[in-house]
């Protein structure tokens, strides 16, 4: 049985710590977890391999007093703002997923696209890990995967308001 962590806005560093604890719980035999969250205050969340100066407008970030945090998974920088996105995550034994990262992204994207279609939002999967509007006019979701021992953690963001001034 999956545990649900219902939507709540979190302070960025607290949310990243919660992710670590949730992953550790599942690695140690706890129930799989599905989580939903937002961020308060706003922050920039960057992938573990990214170089901050190459992907962020640091002058604008400093001017707006926005915190920068680094997640343990890969992927691109994303502005996570108050009431601008919904973050989701699934932490489960890898047996729940296909044994191919590309297929995991495809399968997860299909589920999200199906839910968006029910809300009359036409989207499509853009390999490897994005969901874009059907008309091609914008990315509304990206995701990343981290695999630890026998656990897969896939997480992503559904954007509904974007601050383009912050990202290069």
Can you give the length of the chain in residues?
Answer: 168
Q: Say whether pLDDT at 58 is over 90.
A: yes
Contact call for residues 104 and 98 (beta carbons, < 8 A): yes
Which residues, in sequence order, are bridge partners of residue 87? 37, 157
Confidence band, pLDDT 50/70/90 cuts, at residue 167: low
Which pLDDT tens digit goes with each residue over 76-126?
A: 888 898 888 999 999 999 999 999 999 999 999 999 999 999 999 999 999
User: H/E element holding 12?
Assistant: helix 12-27
Indicate the DSSP class of residue 136. Answer: S
Side-chain-side CA neighbours of 77 within 13 Å: the count stands at 21
Check residue 163 and give its pLDDT. 61
Eight-class DSSP state of 167: B
Which has more confidence, 137 or 109? Answer: 109
Structure tokens at 133: 């509007």
Q: What does pLDDT average to over the chain?
A: 93
**pLDDT score, position 164:** 64
Output the six-digit token pair for 103: 């297929």
Which DSSP string corresponds to 30-54? Answer: PPPEEEEEEESS-EEEE-TT--HHH
25 vs 167: which has the higher pLDDT: 25
DSSP 120: T
DSSP 94: G
Torsion sign (Cα): 38, 14, 11, 80: negative
User: What is the percentage of the chain residues whose pLDDT exceeds 70?
Assistant: 96
């Amino acid at each position: 049985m999956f545990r649900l962590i219902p939507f709540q806005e979190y302070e960025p560093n607290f949310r990243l710590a919660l992710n670590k604890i949730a992953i550790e719980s599942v690695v140690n035999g706890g129930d799989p977890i599905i989580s939903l969250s937002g961020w308060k205050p706003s922050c920039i969340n960057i992938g573990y391999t990214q170089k901050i100066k190459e992907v962020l407008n640091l002058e604008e970030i400093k001017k707006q007093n926005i915190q920068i945090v680094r997640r343990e998974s890969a992927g691109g920088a994303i502005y996570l703002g108050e009431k601008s996105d919904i973050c989701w995550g699934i932490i489960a034994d890898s047996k729940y997923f296909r044994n191919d990262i590309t297929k995991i992204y495809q399968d997860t994207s299909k589920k999200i696209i199906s839910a968006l279609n029910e809300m009359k939002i036409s989207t499509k999967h853009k390999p490897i890990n994005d969901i874009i509007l059907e008309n091609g006019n914008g990315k509304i979701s990206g995701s990343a995967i981290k695999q630890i021992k026998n656990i897969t953690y896939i997480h992503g963001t559904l954007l509904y308001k974007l601050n383009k001034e912050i990202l290069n």
